[in-house]
């Protein structure tokens, strides 16, 4: 009988934890605005400064969704990709051409960011294969580029990596 009471109490505690977690998760999703200036403000300073020209061309305050910026690290290097389909812009032609939007990749080193890739494509994903960073392109013509220490170069087979 005592064992049954312990299991009942444990079940009640676990149930409360699950309810609190679900309420907290719903609250955080509902409170986040889809396009927010914070997603720009948290970027490295030199990338933020580069976005000022687009802010003017777009006709409003720079704002983006959570997935505007994604990062990956490999081989001691840190890369950041910007996905402009997730950038608030009233004048879409400033950042998109037909169905393809601007995508940029920066190499971040010693507190500075250097743009190492820029193109109008359907989408890109940063990947890591055995410590080497690559770019995987989606769309009509999928392709993979690999970082060679200076730039991204085409490869025929690279493997599949994970973006974080």
What is the count of structural domains for the chain? Answer: 1
pLDDT of residue 1: 54
Question: What is the DSSP secondary structure assignment for residue 148, as one 8-state letter?
Answer: -
Does position 114 have pLDDT exceeding 60, yes or no? yes
Determine, yes or no, domain membership for 115.
Answer: yes
Residues 6+ apart with CB under 8 A from 84: 54, 68, 95, 96, 101, 102, 103, 104
Does position 27 have pLDDT exceeding 50, yes or no? no
Determine, yes or no, domain membership for 23.
Answer: no
Domain coverage including residue 44: 37-122
The token duo for 160 is 């599949």
Going through 28-122 in order, the beta strands assigned E by DSSP cover 69-74, 77-83, 96-97, 100-109, 112-121
Determine, yes or no, domain membership for 97.
Answer: yes
Average pLDDT over residues 136-161: 81
Share of the chain above pLDDT 70, in %: 75
pTM for the model: 0.74
Determine, yes or no, domain membership for 127.
Answer: no
Mean pLDDT of the chain: 81
pLDDT of residue 155: 86
What separation, in Å, do the N-terminal and C-terminal C-alpha atoms of the chain show? Answer: 49
Determine, yes or no, domain membership for 151.
Answer: no
Determine, yes or no, domain membership for 79.
Answer: yes
Does position 67 have pLDDT exceeding 90, yes or no? yes
Residue 103 φ/ψ, nearest 5 degrees: -135, 130
Specify the higher pLDDT residue, 66 or 24: 66
E strand or H helix at 153, and its extent?
A: strand 152-154
Does position 164 have pLDDT exceeding 50, yes or no? no
pLDDT of residue 160: 53
Determine, yes or no, domain membership for 25.
Answer: no
Determine, yes or no, domain membership for 16.
Answer: no
Confidence grade of residue 142 (pLDDT, cut at 50, 70, 90)? confident
């Amino acid at each position: 009988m005592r064992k049954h009471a312990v299991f009942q109490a444990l079940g009640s505690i676990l149930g409360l934890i699950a309810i609190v977690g679900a309420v907290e998760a719903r609250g955080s999703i509902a409170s986040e605005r889809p396009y927010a200036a914070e997603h720009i403000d948290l970027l490295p300073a030199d990338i933020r400064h580069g976005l000022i020209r687009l802010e003017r061309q777009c006709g409003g305050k720079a704002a983006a969704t959570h997935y505007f910026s994604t990062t990956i690290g490999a081989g001691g290097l840190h890369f950041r990709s910007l996905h402009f389909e997730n950038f608030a812009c009233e004048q879409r032609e400033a950042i998109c051409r037909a169905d393809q939007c601007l995508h940029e990749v920066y190499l971040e080193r010693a507190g500075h960011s250097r743009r190492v890739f820029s193109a109008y494509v359907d989408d890109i994903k940063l990947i890591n294969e055995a410590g080497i960073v690559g770019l995987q392109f989606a769309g009509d013509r999928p392709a993979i580029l690999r970082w060679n220490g200076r730039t991204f170069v085409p490869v025929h087979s690279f493997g599949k990596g994970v973006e974080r």
